[in-house]
Structure 1
Amino acid sequence: MPPAESVPAHDTSTRNPGIDLLRGLAIVLVVFNHIGLRIPLKKTALADVLPTWFLSRLNYNGYEAVFVFFVISGFLIAGNALRRWGSLGQIDMRAFYARRFARIMPCLLMLVAVLSVLHLLAMPDYTIARVGQSLPRAIVAALGLHLNWYEGRTGYLPGNWDVLWSLSIEELFYLGFPLLCLLTRHRAMLVLVLVLLALSMPWTHAALSGNEIWQEKAYLPGMSAIAIGVLGALLAARSRTLPASTTALLGWLGAVGLVATTIDGATMWHLLRDGYMLLLTLSVLCLLLACEQRQRRGDWHPWRAPGWLRSWGRLSYEIYLSHMFVVFAVVRWFKLGGADERWGFLWYLLALPLCWLLGAAVFRWLSSPCERWLGQRLARTRIEPNATRPTTAELPVA
C-alpha cells in the first residue's frame, strides 16, 4: 500500500491547459521585457491610446515572470516525483538526476557552444567585453550553476548569457532536493524545512539590498519560490476534489494577486516592500492548485482562443533559452533601418512569432530527441518528453 502522501487515483498524466497558459503568459512577459529594454512601448504610438504606466508594466515584469516559473517548476517536478515514487522520501536519486540532465543539458550545452563561437567571432551583442569577465569563466559559471553569482561579482553578461542566471538557481535547488527528501524522510520534517525556506523570501531579498544584481539573482529568494511550488504539490497530493465554488475562489484569489503584483507592482511594493514577491508566488500557487483541481474533475474544455498562449507554455524552456537571438536581430534591424520609434510596437509583432518558431525548432530538432535518447540510456524507465515534461522556466530572466 502506498504511503499516506501518495497521489490520489485520478489521472493527471496529461498536460494541464491552465498551467500551460500560465507558463505561456510568463514567457511572453519575459520576451516583452527584453524587447522593452531596447524598444520601450511607452515611447511608441500605443502611448496615445493606453496609459504609459500600463505599457511600462507590460515591459518590466520579466523578473516577476521568472518567479512564476520557479513556483510552477517546484509544483510540477515535485508532483511528477510523487506520481512516480509515491513519496518524496522514496525518491530514486539516479532516475531523478537522469531526468533533469536529459531535460536541461542538451539545450544548455548547445547554447553555450553557439555563444562561445559568436564571442570568438567578435559578433556585436555576443562579445564578453566587460572588465573582469572572460569566456572561460562565463562557460564555467553557466555549466557550474553559478552564473548568477558570477554576474553579481562582475556585472551583467551579454543577454544570451544573462538568461542562464535563473537556471543556476533552479538546478542547484534540484541537485540538493533528492538529498533533502531522503535525509528528512518524515513528511512533517520536510514540510517544515520547505515552509521556513518559503517564508524567508522577504528577508533574504531585503538583506541583499547592497548589490542590485545579486539582490535580483541570489539563490535563496529563487529557491524560496521553488519551495512554495513543492509545498503546493504536497498539498495537492493529499487533498480531495474540492467543490467547484472553492476551486473558483482559489482561481480568483490567485488571479487578483497576480494582476496586483504585475500590473500594479509599485503599489504592492509600497504596501508590502519585499513581501510583495511572496504575495506574487502565493498567488501563483493558488492558480496552480485551482488548475489541478479543475483538471481532476475531468470535464475541462479549455477555450480555444488562448491556444496560442498555451503553445508558448509548452515551449517555454526552449523559447526562454533561444529568444534573445531573435530579440537582438530584430532590435538591430530596427535601429539600422532608422525606423520611427513611434512604430516600435510593430516590431514586437515581428519578434513574437519568430521567438515561437525558433523555440519550436529547438524543441523538435534538439531538446525532444536528445531528451528521449538520453532518457533511455540514463534512467531506468523511459522518459516521455511530450507527456508531463517538468519544465523550468524553467526558465527563466529579467
Structure 2
Amino acid sequence: MKHLAERNGGIDILRGLAVVLVVIHHMALRIPLAQTGLATIFPLWLLKAFSGNGRSAVTIFFVISGFLITSHTLKRWGTLSQLDWRSFYQRRAARILPCLVTLVVVLSVLDLAQVPDYTIEHTDQSLPRAILAAFGMHMNWYEGQTGYLPGGWDVLWSLSIEEAFYIGFPLFCLITAHFSRFRAFMFFCLAFSMPLSLAALTHASPIWQNKAYLPGMSAIAMGVCSALLAHRISISRRTALRSLMGVTSAIVFSSYLINAPFFWNTLGSVGALALTISTAFLLIAFSWGWMADYTKRGTKWLRSFGFMSYEIYLSHMFVVLPLIALFRISGGNMYIGWLWFVPAISLSWILGYGVEHLLSRPAGRWLRGRPKPQIIDPATT
C-alpha cells in the first residue's frame, strides 16, 4: 500500500467508511444487528443507524466520484472545456471494464451452474438480460422493473447510474465549451434537484425509489460542483475557510449517518441534501489540506479500504453470501451473529486486495498503454 502515502488521506477515509458501511449493510440485511447480543449493550437506534446506511454510503460514493473525476480533469487539462474525450473514455474503460467484465463472467458461470444465492430465479428475469443490463448501464432500471437480482448482480445498479453520467459528461463539457457559466449553472441545478426527483418518486416502486437515475446523478453533480468551487477559490483564502468548512460539514455529515430519519422528518426530501452538501464540503476541506496530518495517523486500514473501494464494492458479495450460508449451517445463533461481521469486513478487504493487485492494476495499465499507473479514478458504488 505504498500508494497511500501519496494520496489524500481524508478523501480515502470517506471512501473507506462508505465501502465498510456497504459491507455491514449487506450483512445486516441477513443478520440484523438489532437482533443480536449487541442490543443489550447499545441502543437500538444506534445499531439500526450503523447497519442501515447502505444507500447513504452509495450516495457518498457518488459525490466523491463527481469530485475526483472533475478535480482530475481540471488538473490534467486545465478546464473542462479542454477535456480530451478520447483520453477520458479510455481512462474510464481502463478503470471500470476489467473488474466489470470479470464479475459478469464469474456470475454468469455461477448462474449456469445453478449455484445457490447466485442463480437468477425470477420468472421475468434471465441471464442474457442481466448481462445486457450490466453492460448497457441500466441494471437499476432492470431491477426496478423486474425485482431484485441475486446480490452479486445487484451491486451493479450504482455503476449503471455512474457510467451513464460519465458517458455524457465529456460531451456536455465540449458542447458548452464557450458557455462555462451556463455549464456550471446546469451542474448546480442538477446537484440541487435531488429533493424534487425524490418527491416525484413517492409513488414509484421501493426499488426504483432507491435506484432511479436522477437522484444518483444529482449526487454526482454535487461532487462536480464542489470540485469547481474548490478550484475557483484562491489559495490565499483556502486556509481561512477550510477549518470552518471542515468542522461544520463533519458535524452535519456524522449527524446524518447517525440519525437520517431526523433530517427526513424535519426537512422532508430536502433532508437528502444534508448528506450530499456535507460530503461535498468535506471533500473541499480535505482537498485544501484540512486535517492532513491527522487523517494519516492510525487510519491506514480504513484508507486502504478507500483505495480499493471499487474492487471491494464489486466483490464483497462473494464474501457476504458464503458467510451467511455458513452462519445458517452452523445453527444461525442470532445472539452472537454480530461476530460474523468481523470476518466479513476482513475477508472483503483481502478479496479486494487480490482483485486490485492481480486484475485492476495490471489490466488498467495495459489498457491505458502506459508503463506506470496514473491516479486511479473512483467508482461506486
Structure 2: unaligned runs, 5 residues or longer: none
Amino acid at match of 1:317: Y
Separation (CA, whole Å) in 1 of partners of 2:372 and 2:289: 24
Q: Give 1:243 shift.
A: 5.4
The 1:261–1:384 alpha-carbon spacing in structure 2 relative to 1, beyond 3 Å, is: farther
The 1:141–1:172 alpha-carbon spacing in structure 2 relative to 1, beyond 3 Å, is: same
Separation (CA, whole Å) in 1 of partners of 2:240 and 2:230: 17
Separation (CA, whole Å) in 2 of partners of 1:149 and 1:125: 21
Q: Give 1:24 shift.
A: 0.4
Q: Mean alpha-carbon deviation: is it higher for 308-317 or for 251-260?
A: 251-260
- Asked whether the 8 Å contact 1:146–1:168 carries over to 2, the reply is yes
Separation (CA, whole Å) in 2 of partners of 1:243 and 1:67: 26
Q: Give 1:208 shift.
A: 1.3
Q: Tell me which residue corresponds to 2:255.
A: 260
Q: Give 1:113 shift.
A: 0.3
Amino acid at match of 1:390: D
Q: Tell me which residue corresponds to 1:187.
A: 180
Separation (CA, whole Å) in 2 of partners of 1:270 and 1:89: 41
> For 2:331, what is the secondary structure of its paired residue?
coil
Q: Give 1:339 shift.
A: 3.9
- Asked whether the 8 Å contact 2:263–2:272 carries over to 1, the reply is no
Q: Give 1:176 shift.
A: 0.2
Q: Tell me which residue corresponds to 1:3.
A: none
Q: Determine if the alignment matches structure 1 residue 333 to structure 2 residue 326.
A: yes
The 1:347–1:334 alpha-carbon spacing in structure 2 relative to 1, beyond 3 Å, is: same
Q: Tell me which residue corresponds to 2:105.
A: 113
- Asked whether the 8 Å contact 2:13–2:295 carries over to 1, the reply is no
Q: Tell me which residue corresponds to 1:229.
A: 223
Q: Tell me which residue corresponds to 1:158.
A: 150
Q: Superposition pairs for residues 74-153 of structure 1, below 5 Å? A: 74-153=66-145
Q: Superposition pairs for residues 213-252 of structure 1, below 5 Å? A: 213-241=207-235, 242=237, 244-252=239-247
Separation (CA, whole Å) in 1 of partners of 2:335 and 2:73: 49
Separation (CA, whole Å) in 2 of partners of 1:277 and 1:99: 31
Separation (CA, whole Å) in 2 of partners of 1:197 and 1:281: 12
Q: Give 1:133 shift.
A: 0.4
Amino acid at match of 1:142: A
Separation (CA, whole Å) in 2 of partners of 1:199 and 1:50: 36
Separation (CA, whole Å) in 1 of partners of 2:159 and 2:173: 21
Give the count of matched residue pairs. 374
Q: Give 1:164 shift.
A: 0.3
Q: Superposition pairs for residues 314-333 of structure 1, below 5 Å? A: 314-333=307-326
Amino acid at match of 2:358: W
Amino acid at match of 1:224: S
Q: Tell me which residue corresponds to 2:358.
A: 365
RMSD: 1.5
Separation (CA, whole Å) in 2 of partners of 1:204 and 1:303: 38
Q: Determine if the alignment matches structure 1 residue 311 to structure 2 residue 314.
A: no
Separation (CA, whole Å) in 2 of partners of 1:353 and 1:335: 20
Q: Superposition pairs for residues 350-389 of structure 1, below 5 Å? A: 350-376=343-369, 382=370, 384-385=372-373, 387-389=374-376
Amino acid at match of 1:294: G
Separation (CA, whole Å) in 2 of partners of 1:320 and 1:205: 25
Listed one character per residue, the Cα deviations across residues 91-129 of structure 1 (whole Å, up to 9, x for unaligned) are 001000000000000000000000000000111100100
- Asked whether the 8 Å contact 1:371–1:383 carries over to 2, the reply is no
Separation (CA, whole Å) in 1 of partners of 2:196 and 2:225: 19
Separation (CA, whole Å) in 1 of partners of 2:127 and 2:264: 37
**Which of 165, 169, 186 is matched with 1:173 structurally?**
165
Structure 1: unaligned runs, 5 residues or longer: 1-12, 377-381
Runs of 4+ in structure 1 over 4 Å off: none
